[in-house]
A and B are shown apart, each in its own frame.
Chain A
Amino acid sequence: MSAIVFAGARRVYDLPSRRVVALESFDLSIAEKEFVVIVGPSGCGKTTCLRLAAGFDFPSSGEVNVGGQKVTGPGPDRAVVFQHFALFPWKTVHDNIALGLRNAGVPAAERERRIESALKLMNLESAARAFPHQLSGGMQQRVAIARATVLDPAVLLMDEPFGALDAQTRVVMQEELVRLARVNPRTVLFITHSVEEAIYLADRVVVMTRAPGRIKEIIAVKALREQEGWDTLPKIEDVMDQPSFVQLRTHVWRSLRDEQVPSE
């Protein structure tokens, strides 16, 4: 059974001055525990697509199903990591992570245990009592990831989660996410602008056309990755040096390049 299914999803925004088609005949089936990464030019509808799966927004026509059910609103089964973190500034790191567990009615002892292990996993133990504004961007992002993963959601939706990070932190987070994804695979829909990031993380990479966004091409990475043994390499730069990786990167690059709007 597929975990996330977009069936002819289309989203139109009717603005006073004009009509914006944000997403057009979007068909995509994401299998259970599959890691799918979407890349595409700015404004092509990536965020729109993720918001439909999250239940923050609904298709103008077509359907979006998660776990065999039509999406009718957000819920803790589909945890979201927002592009700009969206941490609660009045809550400490600990309390930000605790909210979802409290809502789920997890008993206090168990709750503390899970928060503690989430903090440890994200290397945040020393920051538990800090407020978000006292943390670096990288730490805030790790809190946002901890807040989403502590619920052990069936589906994880991530909108350019590493976009705001510096190159070094980004690499660490990417390696961390790959480690998590291979140890404890779950269904992930991940958006990025980085081709390397997409190929490094994904089981499949979805390339979108420029607006109105459609699917241009879907590239299977998983079989190649396993065949070439990328997962046995501990460092991202070792993976990125593999001829198989370079070849795929060039392919995705070209595909994306064709979609850039010519500058006026």
Chain B
Amino acid sequence: MPGRRGLIAAASLLGLALLWAWATSPFGPVSPERFPSPPLVGAAFLQIATTGFAGATLPRQVLTSLGLVIEGFLVAASSGTALGLAMGWNRRFAAFVNPVFQLLRPIPPLAWIPLVILWLGLGNAAKVLVIWFAAFVPAVINAETGVREIPGALLEAARMLGTPRHRLLVEVVVPAAAPMIFTGLRLCLQATWTTLVAAELVGSFYGLGHVLSEAQQDIYPGMIFVGMAAIGVCGWLTTAVLGWVERRLLGWHASARPAHA
């Protein structure tokens, strides 16, 4: 029942807000100078919404980051899924790519920044590349697993029905792996948002990551909170959009789930 679930979610958020208001109030244990109280955050929000902060007002900061996230997500998701599908389909290709992949994986995206600037300068491409290093990994792994786990009988059935080899990808491989691919896409989107701040360290004029960096330099906890909250809300919104797309495309799967549970 979505109504009840919504109610519980609202109660959880409200509880958190009340706890926060109490803890940072004169009666609470936390000093508002270390942990901004709701009025301080409210003031910071008002500032960025009206006069602006770090070069622009909130809508521009949000749209800049949203654009970067969408761009980074599309690049990472498409390249990662394609690579993962190829690795899942062709064992030899996987064996060839895997060593490099395993070597690159543990390197934090932040560590790439100096090189990325050297290669691509300070533009958007550099930021997208920083995001890509973090976000393409889950897309690869999940797409690969998805293909590996396709029941052999489904591929045999398709071939028995005369499906030409080059059509197997669209007829069987992608739809059969789609639930895992979408798991990868959700993690990919998450990684895109969590890498945003790092990406916007690369010569940014606007953006929520840029807001956070500036607020950090100004030692402005209220504004740091506003930046974090904005990222949280935007991340949640984009995840909801992706979930909607998934439900539209994988109706057959979502409703198949209870039978297996």
Interface residues of A, Cβ cutoff 8 Å to B? 54, 56, 73-76, 78-80, 82, 84, 86-90, 99-100, 103-104, 131, 133-134, 147, 151
Contacts and interface: CB of A to CB of B under 8 A. Distances in A.
B259 interface: yes
Contacts of A54: 156, 160
Contact of B252 (A73, A75, A89): A89
B156 A74 contact: yes
Contacts, number: 67
B172 interface: yes
A151 B259 contact: no
B159 A86 contact: no
B175 A88 contact: yes
B253 interface: yes
Contacts of A134: 255
Contacts of A76: 160-162
Contacts of B256: 89, 131, 133
Nearest to A151: B161
A89 to B, nearest CB: 6
A104 B253 CA distance: 28
Interface in B132-169: 151, 153-154, 156-164, 167
B178 interface: yes
Interface of B: 151, 153-154, 156-164, 167, 171-172, 175-176, 178, 250, 252-253, 255-256, 259
Given A86-B156, A103-B162, 13 more contacts: A56-B156, A73-B159, A80-B157, A80-B160, A82-B153, A82-B156, A87-B157, A88-B157, A88-B175, A90-B178, A90-B252, A133-B252, A133-B256
B162 A86 contact: no
A78 B158 CA distance: 12
B157 to A, nearest CB: 4
A131 B252 contact: yes
A103 B153 CA distance: 18
Nearest to A105: B162
Which of A76, A79, A89, A147 has the most chain B CB atoms closer than 10 A to its own CB? A89
